[in-house]
Amino acid sequence: MKKRSNVFSGFLLMFLCAGLITRAQTVNRSKFIPDSIDNYINRALTNWRIPGAAVCIVKDNRIVLMKGYGIKELGVPTKVDQNTLFMIGSNTKAFTATAMAMLQEQHKLSLDDKVTKYIPEFKLENKLSTEQATIRDLLCHRLGISTFEGDFTYWTSNLTRNEVVEKLGHVKAPYAFRTKWGYTNAAFLTAGEIIPRVSGKTWEQYIKENIFAPLGMTNSLLLSAALPKSINKASAHTLVDGRLVAIQFPQLDNLAPAASISSSAQDMSKWVFSLLDQGKVGARQILPAAAIEATRQPQNIVTSGTRPTGESYFELYGLGWFLQDYAGKRLVMHDGGVNGYVSSVTLVPSEHLGIIILTNSDQNVLYDALRWEILDAYFKRPFQNYSDKYLDNYKLRYNADLQNNQKMRDSVALNLKPALSPGDYTGKYTNELYGNLTVTKGENNDLEVRFEHHQRMYAKLQPLGGNRFFATFSDPEFGKAVFPFNVQNGKVKSLTVKVADFIERTPYEFKKQ
């Protein structure tokens, strides 16, 4: 989520761990891909309210399916095709990790080199962690930082890449170094910033020249700023209060090595073909086989356990890839989520099977459900209709959120007065990691919050009584939440800000100046 890799991961993992053992429906598994998949996807797009998708399946060095479904933008009858660009979010990370492993093969660095060897100004909050952190640590999310922590500060902000690296040093890691896995986008940005220091080329130049161009990925874009200018692109969409709406293209180039690539089913197939053939394109060795293998070596335990079927399972993290066992096969996979898009890429090296799913709405789990449906078809497992099962659970969660927001609006409608006068809450507030925000008076007893590093965004605060306010962000991706002011002896001391979990799960305390 995002960006992010494990969007909706909680209930998806619950489904997988439960094994989804239900009565198998009468679907001929050997015929699902050629005969039934189009109907399945088109029906799912309608049910999930996804404008468009692109899907590619490669098997044994040939394309089994490569097709666009639906439309590029809500209300515009232009169809998605195999060359339509979607942002791939955290599927960018595999490109960054592969590039770092290629530089290791070129003897320009070692993945076990200290980060400070190349970025002397690099700092983590803990001095020992700063001294010990390696490139490998950056690429496998083991800095002790919790998942998405710090992302509110960086995500679609006006910070530069250098400033993001500096801000990372202010994140208060809740875990000891290398003891816990925690998904850290800024760590991948930091790894990408090593590339110019050893190659003399920016991250985007290096990826273009050493991966995109040799593989023939001529349509793909490395920077998010380039996507709005593209002719054949899918627009970004989300749900706002139950309505599907088009939103602005996210600007994430300050986190480019973690999340900024846009690509198509056609171009991504070239990437997947090469990864499944040890870096080759035909007879030519484009990517070093050793570099590909380096990214697939387990570095962290994400989770493990036993399914009700008796099967043990694991989920590990390599370098830019999740590693999982399923049906006795080893999966190399990743999800990607940024504002308006979610995607998945799955490799089954032993079966020479690759699956690419791109969607232009960030409020769906079809990208994951369809992955398992295709895998089950190839592994001759019973048909489960994952899309409908995931959708039922998603609707429960989403509707619960809608009901909670309606309760907040009902409370606002009671015109409950705040404990203090509106002017007592106004002023400048500071957080060590984020920086500054400003609270000003709005209409009636409402307040408005403006953010130093998100200058086009604001939050409207409506009183809920006492010192609590219902916050609605102007950017719907940042969500809605209750913002409490901490008041002591009649004076405001701080404000707690919480954004949507899609952005960051950790609340921020801003102290009043």
Tell me the pLDDT of the chain (513 aa) as tens digits.
Answer: 464 344 444 444 444 444 443 333 444 556 788 889 999 999 999 999 999 999 999 999 999 999 999 999 999 999 999 999 999 999 999 999 999 999 999 999 999 999 999 999 999 999 999 999 999 999 999 999 999 999 999 999 999 999 999 999 999 999 999 999 999 999 999 999 999 999 999 999 999 999 999 999 999 999 999 999 999 999 999 999 999 999 999 999 999 999 999 999 999 999 999 999 999 999 999 999 999 999 999 999 998 877 555 677 889 999 999 999 999 999 999 999 999 999 999 999 999 999 999 999 999 999 999 999 999 999 999 888 999 999 999 999 999 999 999 999 999 999 999 999 999 999 999 999 999 999 999 888 999 999 999 999 999 999 999 999 999 999 999 999 999 999 999 999 999 999 999 999 999 999 999
Report the C-alpha gap between 230 and 492 in whole angstroms: 48
Boundary residue ending a domain (356, 377, 403): 356
Same domain membership, residue 419 and residue 344: no
Q: Could you tell me where the beta strands, DSSP code E, fall in 207-328? A: 236-240, 243-247, 262-263, 280-281, 284-285, 300-306, 312-317, 322-326
Same domain membership, residue 328 and residue 215: yes
Same domain membership, residue 418 and residue 334: no
Residues constituting the chain = 513
- Residue 419 contacts by C-beta under 8 Å, 6 or more apart in sequence? 465, 466, 467, 487
Residue 132 placed within a domain: no
The first and second tokens of residue 467, run together, are: 């010192």
CATH number where 56 lies: 3.40.710.10
Amino acid, single-letter form, for residue 138: L
The residues that bridge with 428 in the sheet, in sequence order, are 438
| Cα 445 versus chain centre, distance | 37
CATH number where 445 lies: 2.40.128.600
Beta strands 508-512; 427-431: pairing state: antiparallel
DSSP result, 111-156? TTSBGGGT-TT---SSHHHHHH-BHHHHHTT-SSPPTTTTHHHHTT
Q: Which helix (H) or strand (E) holds 493?
A: strand 491-497
Same domain membership, residue 229 and residue 102: yes
Same domain membership, residue 205 and residue 348: yes
pLDDT at 6: 43
Q: What are phi and psi of 391, to 5 degrees?
A: -65, -40
pLDDT at 28: 55
Same domain membership, residue 442 and residue 332: no
**Which of 137, 135, 120 lies closest to 175, judged by CA?**
137
Beta strands 447-451; 435-441: pairing state: antiparallel
pLDDT at 12: 46
**Which of 19, 33, 105 lies closest to 66, judged by CA?**
33
Same domain membership, residue 210 and residue 307: yes
**Which of 445, 435, 438, 434 lies closest to 470, judged by CA?**
445
Same domain membership, residue 92 and residue 209: yes
Same domain membership, residue 309 and residue 208: yes
Count: domains in the chain? 2
435: helix, strand or coil: strand
Residue span of the structural domain in which 466 resides: 414-512
Residue 403 placed within a domain: no
Task: Answer yes or no: are the C-beta atoms of 9 and 342 closer than 8 Å.
Answer: no
Boundary residue ending a domain (323, 339, 356): 356
- DSSP 8-state class, residue 221: B
Same domain membership, residue 245 and residue 349: yes
Report the C-alpha gap between 390 and 116 in whole angstroms: 44
**Angle of helix 386-413 versus helix 366-378 axis, rounded to 10:** 170
Task: Answer yes or no: are the C-beta atoms of 440 and 429 closer than 8 Å.
Answer: no
**Which of 338, 324, 396 lies closest to 367, judged by CA?**
338
Same domain membership, residue 223 and residue 314: yes
